[in-house]
Chain A
Amino acid sequence: MNAQALITALEELRVALASVELPLVVPGSEEQRGARHEVLGQLDDYVLPRLRQIEAPLLAVVGGSTGAGKSTLVNSVIGQKVTQPGVLRPTTRSPVLAFNPADADWFTDARILPDLARTSAASSDPRSLQLVPVDSVPAGLAILDAPDIDSVEVRNRTLAAQLLAAADLWLFVTSAARYADQVPWDFLRAAAERSAAVAIVLDRIPPGAEDEVATHLQEMLQQRGLERSPLFAVTEGPVDDAGLLPAVAVERIRTWLEGLAADANARAAVVRQTLDGAIRSVARRSEEVATAHAGQVEMTQRLEVDVTRAYAEARRDVAEASADGSLLRGEVLARWQEFVGTGELLRSLETRVGWVRDRVGGWFKGKPQQAERVTVAVESGLESLLIEHAEAAAERAWRSWSSVEAGKRLLETGDRDLGRASRDFRREAERTVRDWQQGVLEMVRTEGADKRTTARFLAFGVNGLSVALMVVVFAHTAGVTGAEAGIAGGSAVLGQKLLEAVFGDQAVRRLAEHAREDLEQRVEALYATESARYLAVLDGLRLDPAGTESLRFAVQRVAALSTTEGTAR
C-alpha cells in the first residue's frame, strides 16, 4: 500500500546518512565508516532500485572463495561458457551478469549497481560489469558471477561484498577444502543476520567423500541458523572440452533455479524475504552509524573543552600574575622607584607644595624619560608572562589531545607546530601590550582633559600618570597576598596617592577598573586566536551535531513504515 512512502523515507535516510561523516579515529571507527559506506551502497545498489521496481527479474549472485570453482559452476549451470575460469589466484576480471535477452532492458541502464560501467566484452577492470544475454538463462532470473571474497586482492573483496549486498538471492559457493574457512562463514553469518535468501553450493568434493563432508557442512549450517538454506553438493569431476561440468552434476541447482524463475510467487517470496531483511539491516546499521556519529560529536566536544580549558587556565594565570603585584618586582620596581625618586615626592604630595617646585623637580629629574623606562619594563614583564602562558597552554592542549586516540590522530595529520605557541605570537603579544599601554594613556589623557593646567598633572605628564595607573592595576590584589604586600603594596600606595592627588579617589578607582578590564579583554582576544588554531582543526572535521538527530529520525520513520508495509503484504 505504502511503498511510495517507504521509498521516500529510505531516500531521506540515504540523504541523512550521506551527510553524517565519521572523520575522527576512535576505537571501531574504521568498521563504523565501513558500515556507513556499505549501507549507502546497499541502498543505491539494491534496496531503492528493488523497491522502485519490485517486478524486476530476480538477481542471483554467485559468490564465494577464490578457487572454489565459481566460474566453472556458473558456466555449467547456464550450459554455456559465459565466464572465464582460471587456475591462477586471484582471478582478476570484471564480474559477469548473465540474463535472458528478454530481460535486457532491466540491466542495461544504471538501475542497479549504478557505479559499475556496463560492457559487452570481458575485461579485467573490476569497476565494470560485463553483460551477457543468454537464451539458456530462464526469463525472470539473472545470474551474476562475483569475484572472490577472500583473496589478497582488496578490490575483489570489496566488489564481492558490494555485489552480494545487491543480491536477491545468494548462491554461495564453497569447496570441500574450504567449507570450514572463517571468511566465508563471516559472510554467511551476515546473511543470516539480515535473513537474506541463501543457497549454498558445496563444490569440488573428492569422489567418495560427499556424504561425510556434506553432513559436516549441514551441521555447521545448523549451528549458525542457516539450516533452511538449500544445500547443493557437487562432486569434483573432469570438465569437458568447453570447460563445463557434466550436466548431471549441476542438475539439481539448475532445476531449482528454473523452478524459481517459473514460479512468480516463489520468486516474489524470495525477493520479499531478502528485501525486508535488507531494510531491517539498513535501519539497524544506520542506527549504529547514528550512535557512532553521536560518539564522534561527543569526542569533538571533549577535545574542544580540553582546548578551552587549557587557554582559560592561561588567561587566569596571566590575570592573577598581573594583579597580585608580581609584575611590580624586579625590573619594573627598580624603574618605578627611579621614577618616583625618593621620599620627597611623597612628601610633596602630602604637603601640597606648590607647582613651581614640582615643575622644577620634573625638569631636573627628566621624568618623562623615566616614565618611558617604566613602560618598557612593564612591557617586557607582561610580554614574558603572555608568551610563557601561551606556550604552556599550547603544551597542555597538546597533551590532553594526545591522551586520546582521536586527538592523537588529529595532531598527527595537522600542523606540527600546534604544541607550541604560534610563530608570530611574540609579535602579537608585543602588540597587545603596547596597545593596552596606549589605551591606558588615552584613558589618562581623556580623564585629564580638564585638568591639563593643574600643577601635578603638568609635573608628571600623561606618561607619568599612566605609568602610575599601570602600577595601581598591577597591585590590584596585592594587599591580600602577604609577602607581596610589603613591596608591591608600597609602590601601589605611592601610585594611588599620586593619581588621587590629580584625579580624586573616585576617578582613580574607576580608571583602574577600566584599565584592568581592558587588559583582560585584550589577553582574552590574544589567546582566542591561539586556541582558534586548535578549534580550526575541529571545525575542519565538519561534524554537525544535528546530523545524529536527523539520521535517527529517518531511521525511525523507515522502521515504522517497513513494519506496516510488512504486515500489509
Chain B
Amino acid sequence: MTSLVHGAKRLVGRGGSPVGERLTALETAAATARGRLDDDVVDRAENVVRRGAGRLALSGDHTVVALAGATGSGKSSTFNALSGVPIAAVSVRRPTTSATTGVAWGEDDAAEVLDWLGVQRRHQVPPSPEAADLDGLVLLDLPDHDSTEVAHHLEVDRLVQLVDMLVWVLDPQKYADAALHQRYLRPLASHKDVMIVVLNHIDEVAPADRGPMVKDLEKLLADDGLAGVPVLATSAKHGDGIAELRALVTRRVREKKAVAARLAADVTSVAQELQRENGTVDPGQVQRADKAELVDAFADAAGVPTVTRAVQRSVARRGSQHTGWLVTSWLTKLKPDPLRRLHLDMGEEGKQLTGLGRASVPEPTRVQRARVDGAVRSVAGGIGSQLTPPWADAVRRASVSRLDDLNDALDRAVVGTDLGVSRTPLWWRIAKLLQVLFALCLLGGLLWLAALAVLGYLQMPTPDAPEEYGLPLPTLLLLLGLVGGLALAFIGRFVNGLVAKSRARSADRRLRAAISGVTDELVLAPIDAELSAYAEVRRALAAALR
C-alpha cells in the first residue's frame, strides 16, 4: 500500500492525474465488498489494484507500448519498421512470433519494467540522435491471439492487462474476425484513450478500396464501443504510414500520460462493474413500525407480560402488608412473592449481581420465537428491498447473525432492569403506623372492656369509664380501632391497586427500554454495520470513479 501511495505521489508530483488516489479508493471498495458482492468482480477489482500498484511503483519515465494482432497481420514487420532495427523475426510460416520481444530506448534501464512484465527477450537501444524521439519507449512485439497455439493467446491475454498502450495491428483479410472483436476489442471499450488501430498490408488493397475499407473498420470499431480510436492505414513492407504511427506513438511517450490513462481506464471499467453490483441508492432507515414490532416481539419472547403481571401482584402484596389490617395482613405473608418465583426480587442489591443471577422467566416458545423471526425478517426485508440482491442478502444474513444469543441477552436485559418494586413510599409507613395505632386502640379498648367485665363478674366495684362523645372511652377505643383499621385497609387496598398498576406500567416501560437495547445490539447493529459497509463501498466507488 505504501508503495502504491508513493508511486501515486510520484505521478501526481509530475502533474499526472491522481490515479493513485482512485486506486486506493478502489482498494478500499474491493476490501469492503469482499464476501458481500460477487467474488469474481471483487477479484477483478483486486487484480486491477495489484497491477496498478505494481505499475505505479515502477518507473513512470517509461511507456510500454505493445503491438498486438492476428497471426500474419504483420506485427513483427511493423515492429521492425517502427523501431528501425530488424529485431523481430518475420516469416511466411504461421504463427511466427511465439515469445514476446521487448525493446527499450533511452538511457534509463528498463530492466525493472521488463522484469515486471515478464518479458525475457529484450534489447536496450542506447540513446542516439536519430532515435531521440523514442526515448522512454518500451516496445513489445506480442505473439498472435488467434492461431492454433493456445500458449500464444495466454501470453497476449496476460500482457494486454499490463501494458500502458496497445497498438492493434490488423490486416485487410482479418480485420473483421470475431476472435479479435469479441475477445479483445469489446472488453477493452473503456480503454480507447490508450489504443491505436493500424490497418497493415494496405498495399495489398487496390487504392480505390482503401478509403472504404478504413471506413468499414471504423464502423466495426464504433460497434465495439471504440469510436474515436485513431485508425492508421500502413504498409510495413513499403513504409507507408509508419512515420505517422511513429509520430503518434512518440507523442504519447513524450506526454507520459499513458501510464495514468491506462490505469485510469482499468479503474473506471472495474469500478463501474462493481457499482452495477453494488447499486447507488440510499438505503434509508428502519421503519418505525418495523422497529416497534421488533421490540414487541422481543418483549413477548422475554416474557415481559409475565414479569409485569408479577410486578403488579408483588407491589399489591407488599402494599397490603403495609396498609392491610394488622389482624389479617400477616396472612398475606404466607403467599409467595410472585417476583421471587421468577427470581426477580433482588431489587437494589440484585443489580450489583447482574450477570450472575438468571431469571426463571420461561424460555421463548416456538410461537414467540416465530414472531421474533418474523419481525427480524420484515426489518431486514424493509431495508433490503431498497438494495441490490447481494446487499439485501448480506443484510438478511447480518440480521440473524446474532440471534443465537437471543435468550441470554433477553434474560440479562430482564434481570438487569430495576423493576422499581423495592421502593417503599412514605405513606405506606404512615399507614403502617396508623394501623399499629388502630390495632393498639382496638387492643386497649378490648383489654379495658375485658377488665371491666372481669371486675363486674367478680362483683367488684367497677370504676366508671370516662365518657367521650356520649360513649364510654373503652368502647370508643374499640370502635375506633376496628373501624379505623378496616377503613384504612379498604382505602389502602384501593390505592394500592392503582399504585401496583402504575408500577407495573413503569416496569413495563423500563423493560421495554432495556429490550429495545437488545434489539439494537442483536439485530439493528449488525444491520447498521452492513449498511455502513455499503455506504463505504458506495463512497469509495464514487471516489474511484471521480
Contact = CB atoms under 8 A, between A and B. Distances in A.
B331 interface: no
A185 B381 contact: no
Interface string B109-152: 00000000000000000000000000000000000101111000
Contact of B216 (A88, A150, A177): A88
B176 A180 contact: no
Interface residues of B, number: 49
Nearest to A391: B377
Interface string B428-445: 000000000000000000
A409 to B, nearest CB: 14
B335 to A, nearest CB: 14
Given A181-B70, A391-B377, A216 B367 contact: no
Contact of A182 (B73, B146, B171, B216): B146
A402 to B, nearest CB: 9
A65 B173 contact: yes
B366 A151 contact: no
B92 A183 contact: no
A330 B297 CA distance: 12
Interface in B381-401: 381, 396
Task: Point out which of A157, A180, A391 has the most chain B C-beta atoms below 10 A from its C-beta.
Answer: A180
Given A181-B146, A326-B365, A330-B305, A87 B205 contact: yes
B181 interface: yes
A384 interface: yes
Contact of B362 (A66, A179, A180, A329): A329
Interface string B258-302: 000000000000000000000000000000000000000000100
Nearest to A154: B178
B71 A87 contact: no
B367 A151 contact: no
Contacts of B303: 330
B177 interface: yes
A152 B184 CA distance: 12
B368 A66 contact: no
A179 B94 contact: yes
Given A88-B213, A150-B177, A182-B179, A384 B367 contact: yes
Interface string A32-45: 00000000000000
A321 to B, nearest CB: 3
B182 A152 contact: yes
B173 A178 contact: yes
A176 B72 contact: yes
A321 B147 contact: no
A212 B94 CA distance: 11
A452 to B, nearest CB: 34
A152 B176 CA distance: 6
B257 to A, nearest CB: 31
A212 B374 CA distance: 77
Contact of A178 (B72, B305, B362, B366): B72
Contacts of B172: 67, 87, 89
A157 B173 contact: no
Contact of A483 (B70, B362, B370): B362
Contacts of A484: 365
Interface in B41-75: 70-73
Interface string B193-226: 0000000000001100100110010001001000
A176 B146 CA distance: 14
Interface string A187-212: 00000000000000000101001001
A414 to B, nearest CB: 14
Contact of B93 (A216, A327, A334, A392): A216
Given A151-B177, A178-B72, A329-B362, A185 B367 contact: no
A308 B206 CA distance: 70
Nearest to A420: B381
Contacts of B510: none
Contacts of A157: 178
A484 B363 CA distance: 10
A213 interface: yes
Contacts of B367: 321, 326-327, 329-330, 381, 384-385
Given A182-B147, A183-B146, A329 B177 contact: no
A548 interface: no
Contact of B178 (A151, A213, A216, A384): A151
Nearest to A181: B146
Interface string B228-242: 000000000000000
A385 B377 CA distance: 14
A317 interface: yes
A317 B146 contact: no
A387 interface: yes
A209 B92 contact: yes
A432 interface: no
Given A209-B92, A212-B93, A387-B374, A181 B363 contact: no
Q: Could you say which interface size class chain A belongs to?
A: 35 or more
Contacts of B306: 330
A272 interface: no
A152 B363 contact: no
Interface string A149-191: 0111110010000000000000000011111111101000000
Contacts of A334: 305
Nearest to A180: B94
Contacts of B21: none
A321 B370 contact: yes
A182 B148 contact: yes
Interface string A84-120: 0001111000000000000000000000000000000
Contacts of B212: 87-88
Nearest to B362: A329
B203 to A, nearest CB: 12
B528 interface: no
A559 to B, nearest CB: 32
Contacts of A206: 92
Nearest to A216: B93
A320 B366 contact: yes
B206 A152 contact: no
Given A150-B179, A152-B220, A178 B92 contact: no
Interface string B332-375: 00000000000000000000000000000011011110110110
Contacts of B146: 181-183
A173 to B, nearest CB: 12
Contact of B373 (A152, A181, A331, A388): A388
Contacts of B105: none
A487 interface: yes
A389 interface: yes
A388 to B, nearest CB: 4
Nearest to B219: A88
B371 A384 contact: yes
Contacts of B223: 152
B95 interface: yes
A340 interface: no
A68 interface: yes
19 contacts: A66-B176, A89-B174, A150-B179, A151-B176, A176-B72, A176-B94, A177-B173, A180-B148, A181-B179, A209-B92, A212-B93, A321-B367, A321-B370, A327-B365, A330-B368, A388-B373, A392-B373, A395-B377, A487-B362
Interface of A: 65-68, 87-90, 150-154, 157, 175-183, 185, 204, 206, 209, 212-213, 216, 220, 317, 320-321, 324, 326-327, 329-331, 334, 381, 384-385, 387-389, 391-392, 395, 420, 483-484, 487
Given A66-B177, A180-B72, 19 more contacts: A89-B176, A152-B176, A154-B178, A176-B92, A177-B174, A180-B147, A182-B146, A204-B173, A317-B366, A321-B365, A324-B366, A330-B303, A330-B365, A381-B367, A384-B367, A384-B370, A388-B370, A483-B363, A484-B365
7 cross-chain pairs, A with B, having the tightest CB-CB distances, nearest first: A67-B173, A326-B365, A89-B176, A177-B72, A321-B366, A180-B94, A388-B370
